Amino acid sequence: MGQKLGIVSFTEHGSQLNERLREMLERSGYVCESYAAEKYAGKYHLFPLKVSAKAWTEKMFQSMDALLFIGACGIAVRSIAPYLQGKDKDPAVVVLDERGIFAISLLSGHLGGANELTAVLANLTGAIPVITTATDINGRFAVDVFAKKQNLWISDLKAAKAVSAAVLDEEPVGFFSEFPVTGEIPCELQRLADGERFEGNCGMVLSLNEEKNPFSVTLHLIPRIVSLGIGCKKGTPQETIEQEVLKALQSCHVSIHSIFAAASIDLKKEEAGILAFCEKHAIPFCTYTKEELMDLEGDFTASAFVKETTGVDCVCERSAILAGGGAELLLKKRGANGVTVALALKDWSVDFG
């Protein structure tokens, strides 16, 4: 599914532009909900705005990836102000004047994608894009943009800010990666080998291990490339499942933030403890039939008891590999307290292309 975008307009000219933009954006892959003042909604086939702009904004903040206000910046600023939480949580907010002259990236320019949406709108309407983030206007490396494109978890926004400040101040920024690197490394980054001395203050580390701290200020960027295969006795509480998963991760120095999916057999699709664990850590959970699991070829840690109970000789290892799309086992089955865990790792490299 494409990015979910809420659009609102308040005048006739704005609503006319709203209708036109909705059609163009949906052709570009966005999923749009377009609202207009009740007076103009029917005429331009838009949802009627039956609440205040603030109330609409509160709803959109909870359900949308991005918001587009067609109107004055003041309306947008007053509407979003009560709901701001932080750059890693807020949706993108862009303002487009009702004549389509200026497209303004207002909030979450990098992580939320407001700068990117602003560029899309400028391309569709001919509007002048207004982008004020310092790295963009100076044409410098932006770590938050890089992290978003590479699907990396950012460990610390303060450390990310320190990296950006060093880039803008033309100070050296260290770069260490445990993964292969393709493309040309930006000139602002100084790549280091393991154990190599660095004279600067801050740097970024691409690793599954968020305890690796080679710099005075270390920004950990964790790729989401690990799939978790899991099984448990019926009724196992969430706390026990979490405890065993964390132990498994710690045993191979892997951050929980590297997990992009968890999986099990379909007999566990309603297992409350697993569901609660996945919800707590925002990990998508999927299940497979015994036929799907047994069709997977490979050398697995078989269990006669598990085979008798589920029809599958090893649930967690097979599930981890299937969820990873053919990823290779990083950690074979590990079991304790009624919980079995396995980890699989996708092939991945850092791409500066």
Give pLDDT, residue 342: 97
Q: Is residue 353 part of a domain?
A: no
Tokens linked to 283 = 């990990």
Whether 217 and 230 map to the same domain: the answer is no
Q: Which of 205, 223, 241 is the last residue of a domain?
A: 223
pLDDT tens across 153-175, in order? 999 889 998 998 999 888 999 99
**For the segment 242-259, what is each residue's pLDDT rounded down to a tens digit?**
999 999 999 999 999 999
Asked whether residue 114 is assigned to any structural domain, the reply reads: yes
Instruction: Give me 68's structure tokens.
Output: 């587009």
- Of 342, 343, 336, which Cα lies nearest the Cα of 244? 336
Q: Residue 162 contacts by C-beta under 8 Å, 6 or more apart in sequence?
A: 201, 202, 217, 219
- 127, 11: one domain: yes
Beta strands at 102-107 and 92-96: parallel, antiparallel or unpaired: antiparallel
Sheet of strand 339-345: strand arrangement:
285-288, 259-265, 226-232, 339-345, 328-336
Domain boundary among 74, 99, 132: 132
Last residue of a domain, one of 132, 163, 182: 132
Question: What is residue 105's predicted lDDT score, i.e. its pLDDT?
Answer: 94
CA 268 to each of CA 152, 233, 313: distance values in angstroms, whole numbers, following the listed order: 29, 9, 15
Q: Which distant-in-sequence residues (6+ apart) come within 8 Å of 144 by Cβ?
A: 87, 110, 111, 154, 160, 164
Does residue 177 share a domain with residue 77?
no
CATH of the domain at 305: 3.30.420.180
252 and 304 fall within a common domain: yes
In a domain, 352, yes or no: no
Instruction: Write out the H or E segment, with its range, that includes residue 343.
Output: strand 339-345
Residues 203 and 293 both lie in one domain: no
The DSSP 8-state label assigned to residue 105 in this structure reads E
At 341, list the tokens: 């865990």
CB 174 within 8 A of CB 162: no
pLDDT of residue 308: 79
- Same domain for 29 and 103? yes
Residue owning tokens 């838009």: 46
Q: Establish if 160 belongs to a structural domain.
A: yes
Determine contact, residues 197/191, Cβ cutoff 8 Å.
no
Measure the CA–CA gap between 291 and 181, rounded to whole angstroms: 38
Query: Does residue 293 form part of some domain?
Result: yes
For residue 60, the model assigns a pLDDT of: 95
Q: Residue 279: inside a domain, yes or no?
A: yes
297: in domain? yes
Chain Cα centroid distance, residue 307:
36
Q: Which residue in 135, 54, 64 sits closest to 93, CA to CA?
A: 64
Task: Kindly give the parts of the chain with pLDDT less than 50.
Answer: none
Q: How many domains does the chain fold into?
A: 3
Q: What's the CA gap between 44 and 188, in Å, rounded?
A: 49
Q: Give the span between the Cα atoms of 244 and 336, in whole angstroms.
A: 7
| Same domain flag for 239 and 250 | yes
Q: Which residues pair with 66 in a beta bridge?
A: 5, 92
Same domain, 8 and 119: yes
Token reading at 25? 């954006």
CATH number for the domain including 210? Answer: 3.40.1390
Per-residue model confidence (pLDDT) at position 121: 94
Under 8 Å CB-to-CB from 246, ≥6 apart: which residues?
A: 256
Same domain, 202 and 178: yes
User: 31 with 123, same domain?
Assistant: yes
Residue 138 covered by a domain: no
In this structure, the answer to whether residues 324 and 204 fall within a common structural domain is no
Domain of residue 167 covers: 143-223
94 and 11 in a common domain? yes
pLDDT recorded at residue 1: 59
Q: Which of 72, 101, 93, 78 is nearest to 9 (CA)?
A: 72
Alpha helix positions (H), 200-295: 238-251, 272-280, 290-294
In the chain, alpha helices (H): 12-27, 38-41, 53-63, 73-80, 114-125, 134-137, 143-150, 157-168, 238-251, 272-280, 290-294, 304-310, 315-323
Gap between the Cα atoms of 299 and 293, Å rounded: 13
**Residue 79, domain CATH:** 3.40.50.11220
